[in-house]
Structure 1
């Protein structure tokens, strides 16, 4: 049996701060994509993992087990990830909690926009505030630098400042690591 192939993207995550900044980012995304975006409520349960991050994502239309590995650094960075749709999420959560332990839970309302090969996430994260995330999806064989260039272009469009960039996951903020 061969290993499943991971997907790759280049991503950035940034703090938006105020509701006014969030609304301004929504307007930029609407103008850029000519859509109103899609509202998605998510609950991510993070489990202890020897490497990378492992989470079970609950959503209204489906649940996903997601593993991803990326460097914890500011700015556009490569993320390798695997996703698996999950039918019985509560049983899987119990098994993973029992076997690995739980690191924490992140609840958010995400407004998703798609621009070219980029997923634009405008997130309202419970107990944290307003954030923006770009995921520039790389095609097989596409160079990481191409994704980084596009992410930097998007940062300029959305007026993201270097000091607003985050290095880790929302969970890291919740548990006080960032």
Structure 2
């Protein structure tokens, strides 16, 4: 398990935020088309990520607060395999499916996502990642705050829940 300190935000001008980040000369990993299938679980969240760059089974726990927050993550990277998705869907049931296009950048241990999510719009996510406990929570918080300020993210921009939560809320409000 590793620790992230992270935030998700909806910005008025996401292109401006990406331009600011590009001035920092981040490593561009690529643009990924990702389908995240969320499964019904008793606690936390479990999703299967199927992308052109990233493939992973991800379990995570975090509070749904509209602020930067700690997330405890377990990640299993795998080769694409339809059988895994079928096993999870049949045994747990599908909660939600999120379809997004994601630009992925890194600066050291900090990962940046510029997301265009089907049915929801555009977001930026910043994840300060400590994979082995060598960085510490205080440093992760400091990194998040630095990039929050750099990208002009205000408290009003923060999103509390996951994309799956937002899609489910939108779906229930239309019903």
Scaled by the length of structure 1, the TM-score of the pair is: 0.88
Return 5+ residue gaps in structure 2 as ranges.
Answer: none
CA deviations on 1:115-152 (whole Å, 9 max, x unpaired) are 13200111111111010000001251433222112101
Deviation of 1:86 after TM superposition, in Å, equals: 2.8
Q: 1:140 to 1:45 in 2, by over 3 A?
A: same
- In the TM superposition, 1:25-174 aligns within 5 A as 25-33=17-25, 38-61=30-53, 63-87=55-79, 89-138=81-130, 139-174=132-167
Q: Report the 3-state secondary structure (helix = DSSP H, G, I; strand = E; otherwise coil) of the residue aligned with 1:110.
A: strand
Give the Å deviation of 1:113.
Answer: 1.1
| Secondary structure in structure 2 of the residue aligned to 1:33 | coil
Q: CA RMSD in A?
A: 1.9
- Number of residue pairs the alignment of both structures matches: 170
Secondary structure (helix, strand or coil) at the match of 1:176 reads helix
| Structure 1 unaligned spans of 5+ | 1-5
In the alignment, what sits opposite 2:7?
12
Which segment is superposed worse, 150-159 or 74-83? 74-83
- Structure 1 stretch displaced more, 106-115 or 133-142: 133-142
Instruction: Provide the C-alpha distance between the structure 2 equivalents of 1:82 and 1:143, rounded to a whole number of angstroms.
Output: 17
User: SS at 1:150's partner residue?
Assistant: helix
TM-score (norm 2): 0.89
The structure 1 segments of at least 4 consecutive aligned residues displaced by more than 4 Å after TM superposition are 34-37
